Amino acid sequence: MLKTAFAERYVHPLPENHRFPMEKYDLLYRQLLYEGTLESSNIFIPDSIAEEWILKVHDKSYLDKLINLELTSKEQRKTGFILSKDLVQRELIIMEGTRLCSQFALEFGVALNIAGGTHHAFRNRGEGFCLLNDFAISAHWLMNEVRLDKILIIDLDVHQGNGTASIFQNDNRVFTFSMHGANNYPLYKEKSNVDVGLEDAIGDNEYLYLLSKNLDEILTQFTPQFIFYQCGVDILDSDKLGRLNVSIQGCKERDKIVFNAAKSLGVPVVCAMGGGYSPDIKVIVEAHANTFRLAQNIFI
């Protein structure tokens, strides 16, 4: 059973011409149901996450500022969103979506969140459309409730998972692997356990080679009990922010490499969508949909 987190609140209204393609979540959800990749029984609607789990990762003072809508204008600008009760509520639901995905992945081997992958959220601040860090929160839930102590976070969004790397920099139970554009945001990169900075315009062949090479070594040496996979589709050649030259087929191959590796090792995997900024929303939805189609084919 491919459990998938989605809620109507994932789609938060944004000002016209905002560069975040919020509508992709609804379109992706509809596409997956329309084509039969998912049925309504696959979908679950998360509620808000318990504060207890957020506080395993984020500072209380930051969470209070977020919930009480007290972020300064500068802090809000860094997040890329105008803070509102609805936006915060949306984030709390996405966090719970990923946490519940972790629970389902333990049972079914895989689960996906139609949103999430909020890897730019630090302990004490948000950045780049990320207010809270869903993988970090869920990893703490797994460590506390399921007693796992070897969790791998694979971050293949084109932007470095700086928040995630920072949160786990001194926690050797969680291994962070980020493969991202070296010349892309964030300007200052945090230190993951393994960072692979890619040059501009890198193509499918080299991209997939570097992924396989590094992933093989990491899986051999770290032997994870659980994998979180941030599968941003902003690596596509069509992406406005990406700077890489990976085709939609290459992006699909990327997902296949990760899923096949997890499946062959019998390690549960939770996947969250991350970024994607191609001008044509159809391309974004198609690339994300490929991830779900592959998950169905490989795991179910």
Binding site for another protein (CB under 8 A): 182, 191-197, 199-203, 205-206, 209-210, 213-214, 217-218, 220-222, 245
Q: Which residues make Cβ contacts (< 8 Å) with residue 199, sequence separation at least 6?
A: 182, 183
Q: How far is the CB of 208 from another protein (least distance, A)?
A: 10
Nearer to another protein, 213 or 240 (CB): 213
> Distance between terminal CA atoms of the chain?
6
Residue 38 in tokens? 């998912």
d(CA 139, CA 148): 9
Q: How far is the CB of 174 from another protein (least distance, A)?
A: 13
Nearer to another protein, 126 or 161 (CB): 161
Backbone angles phi, psi at 34, to 5 degrees: -60, -45
d(CA 111, CA 102): 7
SS3 79: helix
Nearer to another protein, 177 or 299 (CB): 177
Backbone angles phi, psi at 120, to 5 degrees: -95, 5
Nearer to another protein, 250 or 276 (CB): 250
SS3 91: helix
Nearer to another protein, 196 or 248 (CB): 196
Q: How far is the CB of 50 from another protein (least distance, A)?
A: 33
Q: How far is the CB of 160 from another protein (least distance, A)?
A: 10
Q: How far is the CB of 212 from another protein (least distance, A)?
A: 9
